[in-house]
Structure formats: structure tokens, C-alpha cells
Amino acid sequence: MDLTSYAELAVRLVNTAVGVDNRTDRLAGTDAFRAFVADDPRLRGPWTHHDLDALRMLRTELAVIFAAAAERDHAAAADRINALLVQHPLRPVLVRHDRSRWHLHLDESGSVSDRYAAASICGLAWVVAQFGPNHLGICAVPDCQSAFVEASSARPGRYCVKHAASKADVTALRGLRRPGAGYPASSAAG
């Protein structure tokens, strides 16, 4: 079971909200929902308007977790994850396929929204247990507001995937321009 990809489900859902990265609500209606679930095989199957409503409510709950983590209120983030784990119990099953060893998957029964909730909450719980709640957050770029998960032992970042690369490029460029780094310091008058 790749729990990091499950945590990314939470990021993906939170980032469908109005205002995230200056976008409109990407779960505004059935066509938007159909597009949202179409590219993820874990979300295949029949769905109803209840699933759309349930995912909107879950999105709100998950956004609270990411906001609490971004504010370094780790106890609040953990409390919300624990509450959601109770509300959306996991149903793990042992499976073996494609010559693999026995391993865990989440049971594929239940509604689309039930499966999405269980998977995303399980993923967030794993990231917090493995790396700490400071590895969840909201992008520090003021106009972005995208949620992110840093699922590595590296120092937790402050930027979503879209902005992390550009911030790393700027930091690297500043390092190259330091005197003694092999490049001349800026000669701009100022």
C-alpha cells in the first residue's frame, strides 16, 4: 500500500476549493466531479450526488487539518485526523497480485466518497506518524493557498509542488551569485 499516494488524495481534494491557486470550485457540479474522479482508478464505480456532497464536506475537514499544520497547531491537526479516522474507518485487506508478496490494500467496497475519505485520511495519518505534522501545510505564496504534503525526511517545505521548484531555482541562483561562488556578484547600481 503506497500511503504517500493516499496522502496526495487529500491534497488533491483540498486543492479543488474556490480560491486555491486563483481557481473556481472544481467540485461545483456533476460534470466537474466526473472529471475529478475520471483520472484515478481508485475512484471508479457508480457514484451519486451524495458522493459529491460528502467529498465537499470532507474537503472542508481536510482543509482545517492543512491550515492547522501550516499554523504549527500540530495538536489540532492530529485531533482532526483522529476524529476523521473514527468517522471514516479503514478496511484493510491482504492481497497478492502480479507475483508480489502479500501486502495491504484498502477494501474497495463502499461508495466512492467512503473510499476516498478512508484512503486520504489514512495517508495523512501515515505522513504525520512517519514525518510529523509539520510536513503538511498550505503554500506560503500569498496568492496560491494550495495544500501540500512533504512525504520525505527532508526538512519540510513551505511551498506547494507548483511553487517549490521555482523557489528552489531562486535559492540556487542566489547561491551562485554570492561572491566567491565562481560568479561575479551583481553589479547593478542600487
| Cell of residue 167, nine digits | 523557489
The answer as to whether 184 is a domain residue is no
Residue 95 is which amino acid?
Answer: V
The answer as to whether 50 is a domain residue is yes
Q: Which domain holds residue 137?
A: 3-156
Q: Phi, psi (5° rounding) for residue 101?
A: -75, 165
* CA–CA separation, 116 and 11 (whole Å): 12
The answer as to whether 65 is a domain residue is yes
Q: Residue with C-alpha cell 500500500? A: 1
Of the candidates 1, 26, 31, the residue with the CA atom closest to the CA atom of residue 14: 26
pTM, two decimal places:
0.80
The answer as to whether 187 is a domain residue is no
* CA–CA separation, 61 and 163 (whole Å): 24
Q: What is the pLDDT along the chain (190 residues), one digit of tens a residue?
A: 668 889 999 999 999 987 776 678 888 888 888 888 887 877 777 888 899 999 999 999 999 999 999 999 999 999 999 999 999 988 889 999 989 999 888 888 888 899 999 999 999 999 999 999 999 999 988 888 899 998 877 766 777 767 665 544 444 434 444 454 443 443 333 3
The answer as to whether 97 is a domain residue is yes
Q: Could you tell me how many residues make up the chain? A: 190
* CA–CA separation, 66 and 21 (whole Å): 15
The answer as to whether 174 is a domain residue is no
Residue 136: enclosing H or E segment and its boundaries? strand 136-138
* CATH number for 83: 1.10.3300.10
Partnered with residue 93 across adjacent β-strands are 105
Q: What is the number of structural domains in the chain?
A: 1
List Cα–Cα distances, 46 to 12, 25, 106, 110, 113, in angstroms.
20, 22, 18, 10, 11
* CA–CA separation, 113 and 50 (whole Å): 8
The answer as to whether 58 is a domain residue is yes
Residue 58 is which amino acid?
Answer: L
The Cβ of residue 70 has, within 10 Å, a number of other Cβ atoms equal to: 20
The answer as to whether 185 is a domain residue is no
